[in-house]
């Protein structure tokens, strides 16, 4: 077991950041924000930070289309102009785009400076900011360039969720659903029993989801095996996201993953794993929450091309994470093109 970095909740997060600064005495602190977190989250955070250390702010534009090497180069140049040395500390405040890219930025700058994540979206709280995956997209290929690198800590404050639009909550909620499906049937039942997604319920779900993710990552940090189960719904989901991104009509990550979880559950049935009854339960619940994506059968070849580039593939085979039943996933399962096509057509026709 490799325990991952500490995760602190609520006001404890800022308290621990202050302790970290006091103990480690960074030469400068740089906050990486986007336009939204600069306006809505940074003021609250900075008012609680206790330090005389010089502080700088770097701001990027929000959105997946800005998670790329060109933006990184600008930011590395900015860090250089600000004379940030190896004792500098980067604090990332934002959603998955920002924590993924900020972590990557810090990991490569002068071969690595300390960084801390303060996730402000549900998606970043339960997934992106936890577990040390950092990186950027390459063209339309999601997270094609990156590194495993753990932050010094993650500070989760669900208070930030109140500034989020409902569609962003729903996007992160797809990862919560995924955690139930791959690891814990009781958790799945708890999720589907909720009449609506309310902040009080989310606090508990966030902790359970983070616990599930921590358990998995601590057994397999660099994704040699077990960690792959966290990619359930993502083989098709990422390809769908890339497809829409390339066509200048991006969908939210959770929308792609929701569609991916339905189609990959269908494939699970066809592979003789998941029961038809459980598949119907998964499909019905996810379809009740997420909009149906506007796909056409003729889009399949383009989507399949993206799938061929999936990081989990080996020897030119597309490897899937599938469900054996609700609460248990299997990984490294080869699925042929015809079955993937059948799953996509099923989604389009249903
Ligand atoms: N988002 C999947 C993982 O962190 O492994």
Instruction: Place 1 in a pLDDT band, splitting at 50, 70 and 90.
Output: low
Q: Which atom of ligand 1 is nearest to the CA of 175?
A: 1
CA pair distance 146, 97, nearest whole angstrom: 13
Q: Is 247 exposed, middle or buried (0-12, 13-18, 19+ CB in 10 A)?
A: exposed
Choose which residue among 7, 131, 219 to substitute to test ligand 1 binding: the one with the highest number of ligand atoms within 8 A of its C-beta: 131
Q: Which protein residues touch ligand 1 with a CB less than 6 Å away? A: 127, 131, 133, 227, 230-231
3-state secondary structure the chain: CCCCCCEEECHHHHHHHHHHHHHHCCCCEEEEEEHHHHHHCHHHHHHHCCCCCCEEEEEECCCHHHCEHHHHHHHHHHHHHCCCCCCCEEEEEECHHHHHHHHHHHHHHHHCCEEEEEECCHHHHHHHCCCCEEEEEECCEEEEEEEECCCCEEEECHHHHHHCCHHHHHHHHHHHHHHHHHHCHHHHHHHHCCCCCCHHHHHHHHHHHHHHHHHHHHHCCCCCCHHHHHHCCHHHHHHHHHHHHHCCCCCCHHHHHHHHHHHHHHHHHHCCCCCHHHHHHHHHHHHHHCCCCCCCHHHHHHHHHHHHCCCCCECCECEEEEEEECCEEEEEEECCHHHHHHHHHHHHHC
Q: How far is the CA of 179 from the centre of ligand 1 (A)?
A: 11
Question: Looking at the chain, how many residues does it have?
Answer: 350
Residues 283-294 pLDDT 10s? 999 999 999 999
Residues 30-73 pLDDT 10s? 999 999 999 999 999 999 999 999 999 999 999 888 999 999 99
Q: How far is the CA of 231 from the centre of ligand 1 (A)?
A: 6
User: Among residues 268, 231, 224, which one has the least CA distance to residue 253?
Assistant: 231
Q: How far is the CA of 230 from the centre of ligand 1 (A)?
A: 5
Choose which residue among 2, 103, 117, 213 to substitute to test ligand 1 binding: the one with the highest number of ligand atoms within 8 A of its C-beta: 213
Q: Which atom of ligand 1 is nearest to the CA of 217?
A: 5
Architecture of domain 7-163: 3-Layer(aba) Sandwich (3.40)
Query: Domain residues of the chain, as ranges?
Result: 7-163, 166-349
Q: How far is the CA of 128 from the centre of ligand 1 (A)?
A: 7
Q: Which atom of ligand 1 is nearest to the CA of 127?
A: 1
CA pair distance 313, 166, nearest whole angstrom: 34
Residues 95-125 pLDDT 10s? 999 999 999 999 999 999 999 999 999 999 9
Q: How far is the CA of 213 from the centre of ligand 1 (A)?
A: 8
Residues 135-185 pLDDT 10s? 999 987 888 999 999 999 999 999 999 889 999 999 999 999 999 999 999
Residues 302-327 pLDDT 10s? 999 999 987 777 778 899 999 999 99
CA angle 189, 211, 231 (to 5 degrees): 75
The whole-number pLDDT of residue 4 equals 84
Q: How far is the CA of 177 from the centre of ligand 1 (A)?
A: 14
Q: How far is the CA of 127 from the centre of ligand 1 (A)?
A: 6
Q: Which atom of ligand 1 is nearest to the CA of 133?
A: 4
Options 1.20.1090.10, 1.10.10.10, 3.60.70.12, 3.40.190.10; CATH of 166-349: 1.20.1090.10
> Which residues does residue 184 pair with via DSSP β-bridges, in sequence order?
none
Pick the residue whose CA is nearest to atom 2 on ligand 1.
Answer: 230
CA pair distance 311, 153, nearest whole angstrom: 26
């Amino acid at each position: 077991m490799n325990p991952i970095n500490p995760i602190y909740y609520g006001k404890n997060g800022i308290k621990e950041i202050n302790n970290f600064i006091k103990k480690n005495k960074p030469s400068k602190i740089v906050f990486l924000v986007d336009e939204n977190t600069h306006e809505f989250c940074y003021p609250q955070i900075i008012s609680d930070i206790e330090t005389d250390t010089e502080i700088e702010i770097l701001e990027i534009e929000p959105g997946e289309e800005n998670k790329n090497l060109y933006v990184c180069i600008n930011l590395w140049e900015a860090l250089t102009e600000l004379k940030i040395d190896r004792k500098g500390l980067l604090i990332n405040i934002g959603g998955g785009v920002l924590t993924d890219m900020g972590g990557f930025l810090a990991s490569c700058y002068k071969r690595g400076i300390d960084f801390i994540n303060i996730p402000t979206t549900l998606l970043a709280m339960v997934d992106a900011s936890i577990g040390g995956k950092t990186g950027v997209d390459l063209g339309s290929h999601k997270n094609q360039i990156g590194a495993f690198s753990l932050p010094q800590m993650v500070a989760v404050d669900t208070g930030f969720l109140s500034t989020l639009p409902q569609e962003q909550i729903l996007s992160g909620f797809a990862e919560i659903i995924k955690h139930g499906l791959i690891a814990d049937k009781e958790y799945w039942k708890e999720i589907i029993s909720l009449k609506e997604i309310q902040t009080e319920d989310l606090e508990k779900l966030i902790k359970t989801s983070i616990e599930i993710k921590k358990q998995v990552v601590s057994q397999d940090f660099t994704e040699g095996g077990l960690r792959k189960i966290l990619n359930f719904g993502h083989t098709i989901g990422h390809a769908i996201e890339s497809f829409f991104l390339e066509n200048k009509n991006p969908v939210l990550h959770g929308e792609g993953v929701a569609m991916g979880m339905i189609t990959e559950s269908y494939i699970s049935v066809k592979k003789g794993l998941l029961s038809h009854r459980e598949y119907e339960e998964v499909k019905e619940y996810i379809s009740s929450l997420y909009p149906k994506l506007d796909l056409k059968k003729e889009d399949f070849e383009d989507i399949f091309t993206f799938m061929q580039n999936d990081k989990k593939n080996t020897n030119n085979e597309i490897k899937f994470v599938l469900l054996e039943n609700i609460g248990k996933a299997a990984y490294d399962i080869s699925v042929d093109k015809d079955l993937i096509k059948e799953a996509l057509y099923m989604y389009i026709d249903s």
